[in-house]
Amino acid sequence: MFCVTGRHPSGNIHAMNRPHIASKPWTMDFLALSAIWGASFLFMRLAVVDFGTLPTAALRAGIGALALLPLLLWQGRCMQVARHWKALFAAGVLSAAIPTGCLSFALLSISTGLTAIINATAPLFGALLAFLWLGHKPRRLAVVGLALGFGGVAMLVWAKASFNADAEGWAAALAMLSASVAALSGAFSALFARRYLGSVPPVVLATGSQAGAALGLAGPAFFSWPQHSAGPQAWLAVAASGVLCTGVGYLLFFRVLERAGPTRAMTVTFVMPLFAMAYGIAFLQEQVTAAMVGCAALIIVGTTMSMQRLGASTS
């Protein structure tokens, strides 16, 4: 759903190590960001039923880009989007188009809470890719963490496929696989952004990538646009997803990144599922099972352990 570049909003990575980072209050921003990004699963669930998978993803990206555009104009950074448009387009496909499309597809078959739990494995995939792609030598604790985290995901998929060994059960398993692809793509996008967009300010990266995702999804969304008219609830949900979860969400994320540092900012992924499950219970009458809670705890513990090397280098 989002990518962490590990940079200060000013674009200066060295600023992340300055003592003033944690001196400003950031807890309320962090909780607000967790609540907003946790709500994105509810909004996508309400929108995808009427719009379908690809139109939902395209609308969210397009509205998100428009919501961020005033900030981009205010900072006078439009030319930087044009200068890096190829890399921004690729980043948009990896960080927004593929993840949002996959998550929208998953939400057709599984609950918002379960989808959010699987999405929380993005840092886990990030640690694995850092080991495989960047050649980072894994610590023993990180290897154990990877095993625990992916074991938690496997247990979730197995439970759904085994207890409902029918078409509905296999649809749920496929949905969880789709949510895992979303997490993998989001993790890959973070590494891609660090490597090819390391000097680009976050507002340029956020706006340009959302615009790139919208352009990449425009054609597929047009040809898969639903024949029936979407209801007002679906339009409000997709608008909130773009304006609130993308526009306001990224602004809050930049503030948390600046004030708390990248390691603390990344932990928002662990808090989002709590809000997503709460929204699902309150508004969609979803159920949270003991197996979901146990597997979520296993995933979070494993991901935290796998991030030890990353935390040591970015905090």
Per-residue pLDDT of 81-117, as tens digits, reads: 999 999 999 999 999 999 999 999 999 999 999 999 9
Q: Does 270 have pLDDT greater than 90?
A: no
Asked which of 255-259, 271-275, 276-280 is least confident by mean pLDDT, the reply is 255-259
Question: Sorting pLDDT into bands at 50, 70 and 90, what band is 31?
Answer: very high
Does residue 30 lie within any of the structural domains?
A: no
Q: What is the pTM of this model?
A: 0.86
Please tell me the predicted confidence (pLDDT) of residue 50: 97
How many alpha carbons lie under 13 Å from residue 77 in its C-beta half-sphere?
A: 22
Which string of b and e fits 174-193 if b means at least 16 CB within 10 Å?
Answer: bbbbbbbbbbbbbbbbbbbb
Q: Does 137 have pLDDT greater than 80?
A: no
Euclidean distance between the first and the last CA atom of the chain, given in angstroms as a whole number: 22
User: From CA 305, how far away is CA 223, in angstroms rounded?
Assistant: 44
User: From CA 249, how far away is CA 32, in angstroms rounded?
Assistant: 9
- Going 228 to 229 to 234 to 240, the CA torsion angle's sign is positive
Arithmetic mean of pLDDT, 117-143 = 83
Please tell me the predicted confidence (pLDDT) of residue 69: 96
Cβ-in-10-Å burial (0-12, 13-18, 19+) of 109 comes to buried
Please tell me the predicted confidence (pLDDT) of residue 94: 95
- The mean pLDDT value of the chain amounts to 86
Q: Which amino acid is at 43?
A: F
The count of other CB atoms within 10 Å of the CB of residue 36 is 22
Does residue 61 lie within any of the structural domains?
A: yes
Does residue 2 lie within any of the structural domains?
A: no
Please tell me the predicted confidence (pLDDT) of residue 277: 93
The H or E element that residue 186 is part of is helix 167-196
User: From CA 112, how far away is CA 122, in angstroms rounded?
Assistant: 16
Arithmetic mean of pLDDT, 145-152 = 89
Does residue 10 lie within any of the structural domains?
A: no
Longest alpha-carbon distance in the chain:
56
In this predicted model, which residue has the larger pLDDT, 168 or 247? Answer: 247
Closest CA to 208 of 80, 48, 118: 80
How many alpha carbons lie under 13 Å from residue 25 in its C-beta half-sphere?
A: 5
Cβ-in-10-Å burial (0-12, 13-18, 19+) of 239 comes to middle
Range of the domain at 194: 39-314
Q: Are 147 and 82 contacting, i.e. CB atoms less than 8 angstroms apart?
A: no
Tally the domains of the chain: 1
Does residue 32 lie within any of the structural domains?
A: no
Does residue 164 lie within any of the structural domains?
A: yes
Does residue 108 lie within any of the structural domains?
A: yes
Q: What is the pLDDT of residues 203-215, one digit of tens each?
A: 999 999 999 999 9
Does residue 63 lie within any of the structural domains?
A: yes
Arithmetic mean of pLDDT, 258-268 = 80
Query: What's the CA angle centered on 301, arms 295 and 303, to 5 degrees?
Result: 100
